[in-house]
Amino acid sequence: MTRCAASFESKTGWKHLPHDADVGVQGWGTTVAQAFEQAAHALTAVVTHAKVKAQLSVQVRCEAPDLELLFVEWLNAVIYEMAVRKMLFGRFAVRIDDGWLEGTLWGEPVDVARHAPACEPKGATYTALRVAKSPDGIWSAACIVDV
Amino acid sequence: MDLARFTEVDPTTWRIEPREAMRVPAIIYADENLIRDMDDKVFEQAANVATLPGIVQASYAMPDAHWGYGFPIGGVAAFDPDHGGIVSAGGVGFDISCGVRTMLTGLKVADIIPVQKSLADSLFRQIPAGVGSKGTITLDTIDMDAMLSGGARWAVERGWGDRRDLERIEEEGTMVGAKPDHVSERAKERQRREMGTLGSGNHYLEVQAVAEIFDAAVARAFGLALDDVVVTGSRGLGHQIGTEFLKEMVVIAQASGIELPDRELACAPINSEVGQRYLGAMRAAINCALANREILGQYARRVFAHFFPNCDLRLLFDVSHNTCKVEPHAVDGKRRRLFVHRKGATRAFGPGHESLPAALRSVGQPVLIGGSMGTGSYILVGETSSERKAFSSACHGAGRALSRHAALKQWSGRKVIDDLAAQGILIRSPSTRGVAEEAPGAYKDVAAVVAAAERAGLARSVARLRPLICTKG
C-alpha cells in the first residue's frame, strides 16, 4: 500500500519513497516549513499507521548551513526525541529563520498494543536528499531514512 | 543491472573498471542472477567508494549487496593511513557493530517441540523487543563510560554474561581504543535505557534447528550436529554517533579537499583530529553493541534454564557487521596496516588467523548468515582465500529484494504468521505490519547468496539452520 496523506496534486501532504533496505520520506507544502512538517508525518508513519494523540509537546531547535542539511537536522531531532522519550508524534509546527529551525512536536508515549510499531528510524541520511521549490511554488523536502 | 557494464573476471567476480575519479576498480562478488537483480544504485555506490582517498586494491560488494546510503549495504573497502586514507561514518553506517551471535543449546528438536509455544511466548516476554520496549537496565554516567570502554567484558563483570563467551566474540569482547569522552551526551542519553533490548526492523532472536550439514569436520569443531537447536539474534547501536559525525565529516571532507560524489560518503583523513575522534567514538559504539548482545544472550540463557534446568547455552561466535577495524593484510606481497570498513558485511578470517581462539584457529572463523524469518540461516567458515578476495570478508544476510513499501503491498503480516505457523515456525512480534515488511519473500534467496559467497571463495558452507521460533521487534 502506498501510504500518503494527500495526492501530489494537493498543496500539502507526504508520502514514502521506496528504497531497498530503508525508506524515503517526502513532505510538501506551500512553504518550506510546511514541507518539513509534512515530512515529519511521513517519519511517524514509518513507525505506525495508528492515530497518535497530541498529549504532550516537545520543543526542538537546530541549525545548519543550508536548507537540505537543515532538513536532515530536523528529522534527526524528531528521531532523537522519539528514541529518548519513547514517544511518537502526530502534530508538528516548524518555524525557519536564518539557518535556524524551531519546532514543536506534539505526541504521546508509545503504546505498543495500539501503535503496533513496525520499525525504528535510526537516522536521516543525505541520500536522495532534496529540498526544492517547484515552478508552481510548491516546496518539497525528501531524503532516505535508515530504519 | 546490465552485465555489459562489467568485466566478467569469472562467474562470481564482476569488475567495474576504473573511470573518471575512481582510484581503483570496484568488484562485485555474485552469480549472474544475483547481479542481474541488483539495483543500479549498487553499481553507482560501489564505484563512488572507489573514488575515496587512500583506498587499497578495490571497492568490494558482497553477494547480498543492495542499495544503501553512501556505501552499498554489503560494501567492503580498506584504506591506508600512510597514503592519505580516510575513515567514513557513512562507510560504517548508523547501526554501528550491528551483528549476530549463535549459541549452542545442546538440545534436540524433540526437546523443543513440547514446549515450543510457551518457549516462544517466554522469549518474547522476557527479552524486550521493538519500539517503545523498555529494558530493566539504566546506566548512570560511570556505568555508561565503563560499558563503552569494556564492551561484553563489562557485561560479564556486571553479572550479565558468561566469562567463557569472551573468547568467542570478535576482539575478545572488548574493542580497544574506545574513547567514551568522544561520545556526545546526546548519544549516551539515547543509550541510557536501551541495554538488553532487541531493537526492531530486521533485529530478531530465533531458535533454530540444524537442518543440513555440508562440512562434517568443521561442524564437529563448531559443535554442530543434525537436529541440534541453536539461538541466533542480532542487535546494534550507534545511531546518534553516526548522525553527528556524518554531519561533521561533510564539512571536514570539504576542508580537506576531498571531492565527494555523494555527501553520504562523508569522511575524514584517518590521520586527522576528526578521524581519530570518530574512531574513538565508533569503537565505543562497538563495545556498546558487544555488551548488549552479551546481555541478550544471558537473558536467553535464563529463559532456557527455566524450561531446561540442565541446559547450558554455549556461545559459538558473535560477529559484527557495521564496523571499521584496523587489520594487517597482505597487499602485493607486503603486510600493510589497513582500516577495513565493512558495511553490512561479515569479517571472515580463515584458518590459522592469530585473532581466533585456540579452539577455532585450525578451522577458521564461524561466519553467521541470518536469512529471512521463514527460510532459515547458514553457518559458514572463513577461507584463507578471502583475504586476497576482499580483506577477509563475506556476506551478512540474504539482503533485501523488495523495499518495505513493496513488501507491505504484497503480504499481510497475519497471513505470513499463519503460513509460517503451518510450517512449524512460531513468530512473535508486537507488529503484524513489521512482520509483513520482513516477510520471507522480501529477501533474496539466502541459499543463492551463500552459494555465490562460497563459489567466490569468500567463505565455505558448514550448516543450514531452519527456524523453529522467531521473536522480532
Q: Round to the nearest angstrom and report the end-to-end CA distance of chain A.
A: 18
Range ranked top by mean pLDDT from A116-120, A142-146, B173-177: B173-177
- Output the pLDDT for position B190: 87
Helix (H, G, I), strand (E, B) or coil at A9: coil
Selected residues 411-430 of chain B with any CB under 8 Å from a CB in chain A = 430
Judged by a CB distance cut-off of 8 A, whether residue A66 touches chain B is: no
Query: Domain locations in chain B?
Result: 3-401+443-472
Query: Taking the CB of residue B335, how many other CB atoms lie within 10 A of it?
Result: 9
pLDDT, tens digit (0-9, with 9 covering 90-100), for A57-113: 999 999 999 999 999 999 999 999 999 999 999 999 999 998 899 999 999 999 999
**Looking at this protein, which amino acid is placed at residue A100?**
W
- Give all domains of chain A, ordered by start, each with its CATH number: 21-146 (3.55.10.10)
The pLDDT > 70 percentage for chain B reads 99
Q: What is the pLDDT of residue A47?
A: 94
* Dist. CA B194–CA B191, nearest whole Å: 5
Handedness of CA B321, B326, B328, B331 (dihedral sign): positive
Report phi then psi at B396, rounded to 5: -125, -10
The pLDDT assigned to A9 comes to 57
Residue A34 CA to residue A92 CA, distance in Å, equals 9
Query: A116 and B432 in contact by Cβ < 8 A?
Result: yes
**What's the whole-number average pLDDT of chain A?**
91
Which ipTM value was assigned to this complex?
0.84
B93 touches chain A (CB under 8 A): yes
Give tens-digit pLDDT for B223-252: 998 777 877 665 545 788 888 898 889 888
Q: Region A36-59: what's the mean pLDDT? A: 96
Q: How near does any CA of chain A get to the CA of B376, in Å?
A: 19
Instruction: Name the A residues in 107-136 with CB < 8 Å from any B CB.
Output: 109-113, 115-120, 122-127, 129
What pLDDT was estimated at residue B233?
A: 61
pLDDT at position A5: 62
Count of C-beta atoms within a 10 Å radius of residue B390 = 27
pLDDT for the residue A143: 96
Question: Do residues B110 and B341 lie in contact, with contact meaning Cβ atoms separated by under 8 Å?
Answer: no
- pLDDT category of residue B199 using cuts at 50, 70 and 90: confident
Average pLDDT over residues B153-173: 97
Q: Do A117 and B240 touch (CB under 8 A)?
A: no
Most confident range, picked from A8-17, B249-258, B381-390: B381-390
pLDDT for B95-123, tens place per residue?
899 899 999 999 999 999 999 999 999 99
Active site residues of B: 396
Size of interface A-B (CB pairs under 8 A): 135
Residues in CB range of B49: below 8 A, 6 or more apart: B26, B55, B59, B70, B71, B72, B75, B77, B91, B265
In this structure, what C-alpha cell is assigned to residue B127?
A: 527479552
Taking CA atoms, B267 is separated from B252, B278, B339, in Å, by 7, 10, 13
C-alpha cell at B108: 534436540
pLDDT at B197 over 90: no
Rounded to whole angstroms, the Cα distance separating B98 from A21 reads 15
Q: B3-401+443-472: CATH homologous superfamily?
A: tRNA-splicing ligase RtcB (3.90.1860.10)
Instruction: Tell me if B79 sits within 8 A of B47, measured CB to CB.
Output: no
Q: Across the interface, which of A69, A117, A123 has its CB nearest the CB of B243? A: A123
B84, exposed or middle or buried, with CB in 10 Å at 0-12, 13-18, 19+? middle
Read off the pLDDT band of A2 (50, 70, 90).
very low
CB contact at 8 A, B81 and B339? yes
Partner-chain contact A16 B405, CB within 8 Å: yes
Instruction: Count CB neighbours of A106 within 10 A.
Output: 17
Mutation target for B interface from A1, A122, A129, A131: give the one with most B CBs within 10 A: A122
- Which segments of B50-151 does DSSP mark as H helices, in order? 89-92, 109-112, 116-126, 141-150
What is the band of A3 on the pLDDT scale with cuts at 50, 70, 90?
A: low
Q: Where do we find the cell 512449524?
A: B424
Residue B332 distance to chain A (closest CA, Å) = 35
pLDDT in tens, B373-406: 878 899 999 999 999 999 999 999 888 888 888 8
Report the mean per-residue pLDDT for chain B: 93
Distance in angstroms (rounded) separating the CA atoms of residues B202 and B439 = 10
Confidence of residue A19 (pLDDT cuts 50, 70, 90): confident
| Residue B236 confidence (pLDDT) | 47
B408–chain A Cβ distance below 8 A for any pair: yes
- Give pLDDT, residue A6: 55
Minimal C-alpha gap between B32 and chain A (Å): 19
pLDDT, tens digit (0-9, with 9 covering 90-100), for B12-59: 999 999 999 999 999 999 999 999 999 999 999 999 999 999 999 999
Residue A97 φ/ψ, nearest 5 degrees: -150, 115
Choose from B34, B403, B414 for mutation: most chain A CBs within 10 A. Answer: B403
- As a dihedral over the C-alpha atoms of residue B31, residue B443, residue A41, residue B191, rounded to 10 degrees, the angle is -100
